[in-house]
Amino acid sequence: MQEVFRIDLNGVNSYLGKQDGNYILFDTGGHMVLDKQFDNRYGALKTQLKAHGCTPDNLKLIVLTHGDNDHAANASALRREFGAKIAMHENDRALVENPNIDMLMKTFNFQSVMLKLVLLIMKNQIRKITVKTLDEYERFKPDIFLKDGENLNKYGFDAKIYHLPGHTNGSIAILTSNNELIAGDIFMGNKKPEIAMLAYDYNILKDSIKKIKTLGVKTVLPGHGNPFKMNQFK
């Protein structure tokens, strides 16, 4: 029996996959630019892992849907404490191995005209918070680079990897045997199901979403907001 548990870390989600007593963690939480309190969420994440029975003995892998800080910041600490390897797509390795302020600021591309104006007004503040986040960020080298079409059954969890760039160059989604899509920041599920608020390249992201619509996805598990049925996305 396969299960996926949502771990709500106050604005950003991790997901814990369980099958035959083994666990895989998808994303690790981290700082967010709009946080009122500067927090990497590591304590909250560990509390949730413990509550679900996830321990160093049964956590088999840490999978990152992409390399943004709010999804990857705790990966190195978890690897050290739990002994699990870190897996992600190679195209995002620079975001975790050697991120810098210019690299991160390039990701603040908004589709909405209103949000573009907000960025112009708040750019200095966003840059200041991002610099603070970088100062605390623990850089790391991934252990495993996942490829499009690869299955995670070798790690005890039956699910397929899809490389779906656009939000970042190395964004992936994970389709479980129950047709649940752990989607990272391809989608959001806040007020309603919608495309990512920001993306490195929206044209590429829209092509990735076209691909998702062919995969038979029933439920989307987004990186931010609530899960939703794929047929709710318009």
Q: What is the mean pLDDT of the chain?
A: 94
Domain with 174, as residue range(s), is: 2-232
CB 184 within 8 A of CB 170: no
Residue 219 CB contacts under 8 Å (≥ 6 apart), including other chains: 178, 179, 180, 181, 227, 228, 229, 230
Please state, for a pLDDT cut of 70, what percent of the chain lies above it.
Answer: 100
Which two structure tokens, joined as six digits, stand for 135?
């100062």
Six token digits for residue 85: 């390897």
Q: Average pLDDT of 18-25?
A: 97
pLDDT digits (tens, 9 = 90+) for 173-196: 999 999 999 999 999 999 899 999
Structure confidence at residue 26 as a pLDDT band (50, 70, 90) = very high
Q: What are the beta bridge partners of residue 57?
A: none
| Burial degree of 39 (CB within 10 A; 0-12, 13-18, 19+) | middle
Q: What is the pLDDT of residue 186?
A: 97
> Is the pLDDT at 119 greater than 80, yes or no?
no
| Residue 212 pLDDT level (bands cut at 50, 70, 90) | very high
- State the pLDDT at residue 9: 97
Question: For residues 2 and 17, is the Cβ–Cβ distance under 8 A?
Answer: yes
User: How many domains does one find in the chain?
Assistant: 1
From residue 121, give the alpha-carbon distance in Å to each of 109, 117, 127, 197: 14, 6, 12, 17
Domain of 209, CATH number, reads 3.60.15.10
- pLDDT at position 106: 79
Lowest mean pLDDT among 25-29, 51-55, 107-111, 151-155: 107-111
Instruction: Tell me: pLDDT of 37 over 90.
Output: no
Average pLDDT score over residue span 130-137: 91
Question: Nearest Cα to 147, choosing from 68, 220, 63, 61?
Answer: 63
**CA nearest neighbour of 162 among 228, 95, 208, 227:** 208
- Confidence band (pLDDT; 50, 70, 90) for 121? confident
Question: Is residue 118 pLDDT above 80, yes or no?
Answer: no
Tokens at residue 209, please? 């979403």
Bridge partners (DSSP) listed for residue 170: none
For range 196-216, the mean pLDDT: 95
Q: Are 113 and 91 in contact (CB under 8 A)?
A: no
Kindly indicate the confidence band of residue 228, based on its pLDDT and cuts at 50, 70 and 90. Answer: very high
Secondary structure, 3-state, 15-71? EEEEECCEEEEECCCCCCCCCCCCCCCHHHHHHHHHHCCCCCCCEEEEECCCCCHHH
